[in-house]
Amino acid sequence: MAFLVNSCVKVGFVFGAVSPTTLSLQAEQDALRFPFPCPLTMCCSESIARDGRRETFFANELSLVKAVQIQETLPGGLKPELLPNHIAIILDGNRRWANERGFKELLPNHRNGGRVIKEIVFLCCKWRIKVVSIFAFSTENWVRPKQVDALMSLFEEVMQNDLQEFMGYNVQISFIGDKSKLPKSLQELIATVENSTRGNMGLHLMIAINYGGRYDVMQASRSIASKVKDGSLQVEDINETLFEKELETNCAEFPNPDLLIRTSGEQRISNFYLWQLAYTEVFFSVKKLPDFEEEDFIEVLISFQKRERRYGGN
């Protein structure tokens, strides 16, 4: 049915019955649902581009319509222009939640947490957040061998079972961290997922596996050091902008989080991002990860919108 409506809109445009705005909106919705652009949409887009004045007029109209559309999907109290571009989440409290309820099995506990994360990611897709990063596994988590095994199995399970769902939402998935220490099967799966989702233009999901803020700064320093050794860079040219480009988060359009959420009430960063958190607003939620619901997420976003970000200036 949706395909039929879709095609009617496109045919309508060709015969002048449908405005470019409506067509572009349709194309937007297509982008959310289908990973590959439709040739008919591409032809229609080109005809819009040919008429420069019409393009500007309709582009402005389109942003206004888009803003209205996003506003309609946003819950009350949230303004689309004040939403963060990049949200980072530290997933904390799974084990404590399970211990409180007497659950002993590790894998089902983490699956529970995984479900919550998926819900948050799909909410972010709906509300047009551009980047979401999640701290799945730290460089310091290797000290818990049983949890390591459970988490590695969970990652493989999620990637095998849920990839189609992420593709449907047009999500691009990247993995940051030292992948060389992960099991070979997981490394291959990671490469497959990254390749399959590379062309997706929706939300960019960065999953931090075997990642640490200090690790990221170290690998950036080493990368710069090898460029200096090769002679392609002078030591005097090293500055903050250059350094930031070498960090693993540089693969995203918005590498630095605007908002960091940590569940379970603990008030520390635990070596998640480091450099990237320079001006990030931090929110500590008392809810443990499996209890973190949509209304808690909305509360965090409302709090974010009220914050005055001065960046050290006036």
Chain positions contacting another protein, by CB under 8 A: 140, 143, 213-214, 217-218, 220-222, 224-225, 228-229, 235, 238-240, 243-244, 266-271, 274-275, 277-284, 307, 309, 311-314
Q: Measure the CA–CA gap between 175 and 157, rounded to whole angstroms.
A: 16
Strands (E), the chain: 86-90, 131-138, 172-176, 204-211, 259-262, 281-284
Which of 180/195 has CB closer to another protein?
Answer: 180
Closest distance of CB 264 from another protein, Å = 12
One-letter amino acid identity for 285?
A: S
The single residue of 30, 51, 92, 258 carrying the catalytic annotation is 92
Closest distance of CB 18 from another protein, Å = 47
Which of 254/275 has CB closer to another protein?
Answer: 275
Q: Alpha helix locations (H) across 127-212?
A: 145-168, 184-197
Which of 40/274 has CB closer to another protein?
Answer: 274
* Both structure tokens of 49: 């581009």
Which of 146/229 has CB closer to another protein?
Answer: 229
In angstroms, what is the C-alpha Rg of the chain?
22
**Quick one: CA dihedral 210, 215, 220, 221, positive or negative?**
negative
Which of 63/223 has CB closer to another protein?
Answer: 223
Closest distance of CB 198 from another protein, Å = 30
Closest distance of CB 78 from another protein, Å = 19
Q: Return the axis-axis angle of helices 294-306 and 106-126, rounded to nearest 10°.
A: 50
**Tokens 């593709």 sit on residue:** 167
The question of whether 92 is a catalytic residue gets the answer yes
Closest distance of CB 204 from another protein, Å = 23
Closest distance of CB 120 from another protein, Å = 20
Q: Measure the CA–CA gap between 117 and 89, rounded to whole angstroms.
A: 9
Which of 41/280 has CB closer to another protein?
Answer: 280
Provide φ and ψ at 311, rounded to 5°: 55, 35
3-state helix, strand, coil in the chain (%, to 5): 60, 10, 30
**What's the longest Cα–Cα distance across the chain?**
66
* Both structure tokens of 139: 């460089």
Say how far residue 205 (Cα) sits from the centre of its chain: 3
Q: Measure the CA–CA gap between 143 and 156, rounded to whole angstroms.
A: 20
How many residues are present in the chain? 314
Hey, which residues are catalytic here?
Answer: 92
